[in-house]
A and B are shown apart, each in its own frame.
Chain A
Amino acid sequence: MRVIRHVIPVLITGLLCTARLCAQDSNGAIGGKVTDGTTQQPIADVTIAITGTSHSVLSKSDGTFLLSGLGSGVQHVRVTRIGYSPVTQDVTVNAGGVTSVDFAMQPQAAILDPVVATGYGRQRREAITGSVSTVDATSANKGVKTNVDQLLQGRAAGVEVTQNGGEPGSGVQVLIRGGSSLSASNDPLYVVDGVPINNVQTEPDATGIGGAPALARNPLNLLNPSDIASITVLKDASATAIYGSRASNGVVLIETKQGQAGANGPSFEYDGYAATSSPLRRLDVLNGAEYRTFVQDQVTKGNLPSSHLAALGPANTNWEDAITRAAVSHSHNLAFNGGSEDTHYRVSLNYAKEQGVTLSSALERIQGRISATHSDLDNRLRIGVNVTTSRVNNTYLTYEGGFGGFEGGVFQNVATFNPTQPITVTDSTGTHYYEIGGTSTRNPVALANQITNLGQTNRTLANSSVEFDLRPGLTARVNVGLDHANGQRQEYYPAANPVGVALGGGLARVAGLDNSTQTFQSQLNYQTTFGDRNSVDFVGGYEYSKFKDNSVTAQGIGFFTDAFSFNNLNAAQTRTDYSYAEESRLVSFFGRANFGYQDRVFVTGVLRYDGSSKFAVGHKWAAFPGLSASWNLKQESFMQNTPFSDFKIRLGWGLQGNPGVGPYTSLITLAGSTGATYPFGDSPQGGVLAASNGNPNLKWEQTSQVDGAIDFGIFHNRVSGSIEYYHKNTKDLLLTITVPQPALQPTQLLNVGKLSGHGLEAALDAVVVSKPGLIWRAGLVFAADRTVVDELTAPGAFIETGSVSGQGQSNQFSERLMPGQPIGTFFGPVFTGWDAQGHQLFKCTSATPGCTNGQTVGGGGPSAADYQVIGHANPDFTLGVHSDATWGRFDISFLVRAAVGQDVFNNTALVYSTKSDALQDKNFLRPALTDPTGIHEPAIFSSRWVEGASFVRLQNITVGYDLNLPVLTRSARNARIYVSADNLFLLTGYSGLDPEVFTEGGLGTLGEDYLTYPRPRTITGGLRLTF
């Protein structure tokens, strides 16, 4: 926080006044000017400081500065500014005189703040000993960005962000260093302005009618990306250990923009854009004419009964066109920023509306934010308040994600609905949607338009902090946070739609979910320097968090009219209501000490002691230590005459935990439910059954990690980068596994098994060109992670994951977790080809009945004994390349992302690339037309459907122009227009909709592609004005 940034020098001053510096006569000064070494232009806001003291000053808009009150003698002067390489110089100060010095600064490759958030405090970048990636929010906020996670995509090494589809505001899977858990959460911990966020779903699930419910939207949609100043990702255990039990998946520290007292008074900023989106790729299904020809041909050949001709309609409908659209989005931000010397404020307001590329999907956000800081008592007391409140209105496409089950989903019917039939028909009763009737065959346009599925979330995130300097260098801080989210879901399946009929003549459902988190933090910080640039920085504190959630759902079935929609459940024939409530608490004590020796060697030790109510009695508390060190070799004499302007070696080790399980899982609990109800006589007797076996030994999942890294800069940091290697081991995995019987439930949550992983990350930034009028920076992030299951319950034991979706695929799994194999290992039969009758053939061994010449015979199908590893869902490596160039008043930037070597199971192709759909008058994907598969052949999961899915994606390209129009510059300080394109092209050999797939069900399942919401290509035009 800015407060702290202001405070640290002051603290140091106070402390040092007791030491030798203040004891001297301070009557000398240094004055001069700072310029850009390339453009020769003056630079404002440069910090000119005396190393090891609190003396510092900012340069003015003409680049000049005067730093007075210095002792006579040689002073170490350090000149720093974001985006420039720091300059240090020894200057001799004469008592009573002003020594004149000018500084020329060189642009630096990476745009990095010299002060870094580290959790419960900030540190100078040099003092960082752990693995930390920083993302500058301004340069990442290009194109249409709805939430914080999108800012991280491709910009932080080892942080993989996958959106669950192209739906507006959709949820994301964020994996830092490949994740560390199989069934507990793999989400990182998000900390906003120092307050950890309980990153849980804020809107209730929709009904799972005949399939899984629609995916939830991203809980972080609350935050407006334009309000974010910086994002810091803590990756290794030594950096994250300060967050202890919640840190095993990494920590994302988000700092929001704070008010500034501008030299020219308050400023006012408008930032807005309008965008249009369309689907990037499409499902390749037969068109009406092709389908008609196919059916006629099959009837002629005698493969289909002639009655199927009657099912052919007169139309030629492209169902995908019918449910997709060119979507329009726009966003408007207003920010007001200002203050006096002691009081700063920033107020912002955002309105954003994003339309999805399919019908009936959209997101609307109205969000407001106030932040204010005040300092008093000669800056010894500092108070800060941040309040963000938002309203998000979601419109959901019913059965988004395609999980339509037996009732049929929108995307499922886009693939299968007969293309020779029209969208609507007109008869004597008027115009209505054409429906074929029958299981899971529904007009997708009617589904999208007739079924209502809405969600709203109100969320307020507030925190208030008070800091007081008890004595110089010693600061007490209290921070209180409140996070309250109230989400609603409203659905209506009208009787006008066949799904509504099948559900009992109209189904209405209203659900509410209320989440709240209260956080209290108190901490003490102590900072001091002594001797020749030696420093100590200590943080100790206590944190208490209470999490509560409760939910109410009311459902009615059977309405005599569709007119009420979900607004009059009393009119339903039958009603079902549910409610639940739960609560958990987390109590922590933490401490961190950082020692610096001559700015050469830094050592950090961390200890956190966490207690969570979720674990069993006697296992609720655990300690999480971390230890790390760095050695800045550049300070050593042997590095003086090398091209290296920076060279740092870091080593770290730490333990982290994962409590990502629900409350009460250690207890045997009894639940009253329909499953426990039994008729005594002819009336139901409400009953109870054990909902869980409990586990009196339930404890933390624990990850230990070692990290080694080199940070370097060459040619005055015109090229800089870091290379990191890590190795991590997770033990006591929280796994729900088969339990010895008799037991109250077939499975139990146990701490079993081990996982290990190692990986390499590299980041490289360079100033490619720097000359007057043109500066071009480019950067690259690279990551490779290998995570392997080391141990499960028993030798040879495996866990089946990755349920295959679709008709005829019950109890078929596509993946296995097995010792010695990575997570995301596809396991199944090996496809070898077809026989003359169109039967698929599979590899087998002679030991299997019906195996001839190593292949199955006829329609016998594969045998479980012949299953083997048929692919891996993890990429060999991922890459992000970003480039920013400014040329005169133009700026151009782009971001390219790539992942190489991973496989994806194309579940969509398995189920819909099958001609046997025509037996039910359903359409199928075009490749099936030409493959030799027989029309009666079932869809069988095999290696045939596991495809290479390497890709290169142009994530974003933006061209901006700095307007310097007299009509504007008279009042506006700054004006910029830009055009931006997201997802402009995708290079991949993968045949499905998109090689980047989001898979539900935790880390245990990866790389499954089934009827995802199409990812859009978006073109944005925007304007930014500052007055």
Chain B
Amino acid sequence: MNRLFRVSIGAAGLASLLLALGCTNLDENPPSLITPGNFFRNAAEVQAGLAGVYAQLRTIAPEGNIYDVSEITTDEEVVPTRGSDWYDNGQWIDLHNMTWTPTSAATSNFFNGVWNNPYQGVANTNLFLAAIQNANIAGKAALIAEARVLRAYYYYVLMDFFGGVAIDTTTSVALEARNTRREVFDFIEAQLLAARPDLPATRPQSESGRVTQGVVDAILANMYLNAGVFTKDGAAGGISGTAYNSCSGITVSGGDACTQAIARATSVINSGNYKLADSFPQSFRYDNAASQENIFVVKFIPADGLGMGDVMSVLHYSQFNPTPWNGFAMLAQTYQTFDPADKRRQVVLQGPQVNVDPQAANFNQPVNDRAGNPLVFTESIPDIHSATEGEGPRIYKWPADPAHVQQNNGNDYALFRLGEMYLIKAEAELASGDAASALVDLNTLRARTDPVAAPLVGTVDQTTILNERLFELLGEGKRRQDLIRFGQYTGRDDSASGIAGGKVSQGDFHVLMPIPQAQIDANPKLVQNPGY
């Protein structure tokens, strides 16, 4: 008995020793996640990877930091503190008043997002492009071209806000120094030009929203128009804070930037693939996927997490369900720039208000504010630090989708549409000395099937162009770029809108955003933009 026990204990001891030696495998195989090593093996998996790269585009649409900075740093929109709402560490006023520093509230939230969001798009594209090399699928060249255009666009956003950034096409996380803005500009241009031949001119409806040759042309047209800004490293690098920064005289691939801007815009206009929408609102409605005017869009559908949520920041609490946040308002001065007869002003909510939710029982019925008085959006905001809930007009360009799911609406958000191509062409023509052609293009834009405004007469000048861009592109995230190009970004003064505590003239170096200090801490090779 004793011996038997001893033998069995000995055997058990030996067994546990063997178990000990056998159980030292520490490899990880995640059951509910994928690793790049075991993915991108077939067309469906590649398609899923591509969808992820596209999904980053949503960070550029309203409700994202990039949109907030494009709008709120300008005279289009302001987010005043409304009692105990919207103070938020002072970030909204820091953003609007251009008082930001590398560590201030606007930087740590908004600019950090503007830095990270497109860079994440770049990194995911790099990962996709590395992985697709190993995939054995048909149509690889077109997929690679498509991803490269998206990556070029993410770089375009970075270049627009921060100037020169590090160009990286690898998948490793590394400390890299900044390239010059010109180098980034040339990189984007080269990538777009190289990708274009592999892309289709049009897509079937089932692929709408995906990149075409028209997308390449539209981005290039915009870049060439902005070449007087995009090729210079901030105010210190030659961008004027007070005068027009012309594309004329800047050399890009193919010659003079203005000439190339006209060529690219014309290429889109004459492609036959696009046409101006019959009426102005058509390009913004929930069904605007059918609009032939939109060239490059952020696609939205009314589904949880996949829709446009602009309604939330713009509308008053009682105008929509779920309850909006009642924040973003338009400045009086900008509102008053519009000709009241211009149909494009109708995208602004001002005066007595109704419920705009097509699913609500009281749709289109007047609504009250929280104190029980009829809700009226005033034209002016007397004090940026102490606004009431009804103060300020609202830019409501993407009206609610009757099929919205919570705040998710199906309106696509156009990054480029045909209307802007006419504006680019007109501006580049004026910069090249051809004011007559510019007038023709501007009037083409006004003369839709349902004309938006009376034709312009007389001589087109820079003010005409800038105003026409405001009327046409209000709320579309273009104003910051426009004001910088026209030398009016940093000098703008809110006192014209009668808003106390608003923006006053700031240093010209603000044409470039500060690189958030947290990013410099993470990568000491980054050199801060001058002035900060």
Cβ of B300 within 8 Å of any chain A Cβ, yes or no, is yes
Most chain A beta-carbon contacts within 10 A, residue among B204, B210, B522: B522
List the B side residues contacting A811 at CB < 8 Å.
88-89, 91, 105, 108-109
| Of the residues B9, B23, B81, contact of A544 by C-beta under 8 Å | B23
Do residues A921 and B371 form an inter-chain contact, with CB atoms below 8 A?
yes
Do residues A664 and B33 form an inter-chain contact, with CB atoms below 8 A?
yes
Do residues A502 and B322 form an inter-chain contact, with CB atoms below 8 A?
yes
Cβ of A80 within 8 Å of any chain B Cβ, yes or no, is no
Cβ of B524 within 8 Å of any chain A Cβ, yes or no, is yes
| Of the residues B36, B86, B372, contact of A310 by C-beta under 8 Å | B372
Do residues A438 and B323 form an inter-chain contact, with CB atoms below 8 A?
yes
Task: For chain A, give the interface size range.
Answer: 35 or more
Docked complex: B22-57 residues within 8 A CB-CB of A: 23-28, 30-36, 39, 47-52, 54-57
Counting residue pairs across A and B whose Cβ atoms lie within 8 Å, the total is 318
Cβ of B434 within 8 Å of any chain A Cβ, yes or no, is no
Known: A689-B55, A862-B90. A675 touches B35 (CB 8 A): no
Known: A476-B9, A745-B120, A914-B84. A739 touches B39 (CB 8 A): no
Cβ of B416 within 8 Å of any chain A Cβ, yes or no, is no
A531-575 vs B, CB cutoff 8 Å, 1 = contact: the mask equals: 000000000001010000010000000000000000000000010
| Of the residues B20, B55, B206, contact of A675 by C-beta under 8 Å | B55
Docked complex: A635-672 residues within 8 A CB-CB of B: 663-664, 666-672
Binding site secondary structure of chain A: mixed
List the A side residues contacting B342 at CB < 8 Å.
none
List the A side residues contacting B85 at CB < 8 Å.
807-808, 938
Cβ of B175 within 8 Å of any chain A Cβ, yes or no, is yes
Cβ of A738 within 8 Å of any chain B Cβ, yes or no, is yes
Do residues B521 and A678 form an inter-chain contact, with CB atoms below 8 A?
no
Do residues A744 and B108 form an inter-chain contact, with CB atoms below 8 A?
no
Known: A582-B30, A740-B175. A684 touches B55 (CB 8 A): no
Q: How distant is the Cα of A295 from the Cα of B168 in the complex, in angstroms?
A: 61
Docked complex: A448-496 residues within 8 A CB-CB of B: 466, 468, 470, 476, 478
Docked complex: A919-944 residues within 8 A CB-CB of B: 919-921, 936-941
Cβ of B303 within 8 Å of any chain A Cβ, yes or no, is yes
Cβ of A74 within 8 Å of any chain B Cβ, yes or no, is no
Closest to A744 in B: B123
List the B side residues contacting A478 at CB < 8 Å.
12-13, 16
List the B side residues contacting A853 at CB < 8 Å.
none
Do residues B34 and A685 form an inter-chain contact, with CB atoms below 8 A?
no
Q: How distant is the Cα of A498 from the Cα of B12 in the complex, in angstroms?
A: 64
Task: For chain B, give the interface size range.
Answer: 35 or more
Q: How distant is the Cα of A683 from the Cα of B305 in the complex, in angstroms?
A: 13
Q: How distant is the Cα of A653 from the Cα of B104 in the complex, in angstroms?
A: 44
| Of the residues A468, A691, A938, A940, contact of B33 by C-beta under 8 Å | A691
Do residues B173 and A470 form an inter-chain contact, with CB atoms below 8 A?
no
B301 to A: closest C-beta gap in Å: 5
Cβ of B133 within 8 Å of any chain A Cβ, yes or no, is no
Cβ of A520 within 8 Å of any chain B Cβ, yes or no, is yes
| Of the residues B26, B33, B99, B127, contact of A849 by C-beta under 8 Å | B99
A838 to B: closest C-beta gap in Å: 10
Cβ of A693 within 8 Å of any chain B Cβ, yes or no, is yes
Known: A690-B127, A811-B105, A864-B103. A522 touches B120 (CB 8 A): no
List the A side residues contacting B19 at CB < 8 Å.
520, 522, 544
Q: How distant is the Cα of A791 from the Cα of B174 in the complex, in angstroms?
A: 21
B359 to A: closest C-beta gap in Å: 11
B504 to A: closest C-beta gap in Å: 9
Do residues B39 and A670 form an inter-chain contact, with CB atoms below 8 A?
yes
Q: How distant is the Cα of A502 from the Cα of B87 in the complex, in angstroms?
A: 25
Known: A664-B33, A685-B48. A809 touches B26 (CB 8 A): no
Do residues B49 and A741 form an inter-chain contact, with CB atoms below 8 A?
no
Q: How distant is the Cα of A779 from the Cα of B96 in the complex, in angstroms?
A: 61
Closest to B89 in A: A812
Do residues B16 and A689 form an inter-chain contact, with CB atoms below 8 A?
no
Closest to B122 in A: A742
| Of the residues A305, A576, A688, A743, contact of B123 by C-beta under 8 Å | A743
List the A side residues contacting B48 at CB < 8 Å.
672, 676, 685-688
Docked complex: B191-236 residues within 8 A CB-CB of A: 204-210
Q: How distant is the Cα of A746 from the Cα of B168 in the complex, in angstroms?
A: 15
Q: How distant is the Cα of A612 from the Cα of B90 in the complex, in angstroms?
A: 45
List the B side residues contacting A520 at CB < 8 Å.
16, 19, 23
A307 to B: closest C-beta gap in Å: 4
Do residues A476 and B13 form an inter-chain contact, with CB atoms below 8 A?
yes
Do residues A741 and B83 form an inter-chain contact, with CB atoms below 8 A?
no
Do residues B289 and A687 form an inter-chain contact, with CB atoms below 8 A?
no
> Which residues of B come within 8 Å of A, CB atoms?
2, 5, 9, 12-13, 16-17, 19-20, 23-28, 30-36, 39, 47-52, 54-58, 81, 83-91, 93-94, 99, 101, 103-105, 108-109, 112, 115-116, 119-120, 122-124, 126-127, 166, 168, 173-176, 204-210, 289, 299-301, 303-306, 317-318, 321-323, 370-373, 383, 385-386, 405-406, 410, 501, 517-524
16 contacts between A and B (CB under 8 A): A311-B372, A468-B9, A544-B23, A613-B28, A669-B34, A674-B306, A680-B206, A681-B209, A738-B522, A743-B173, A809-B87, A812-B88, A812-B89, A938-B385, A939-B84, A940-B87
What 6 pairs between A and B have smallest CB-CB spacing? A687-B51, A859-B385, A741-B119, A674-B305, A740-B523, A938-B87
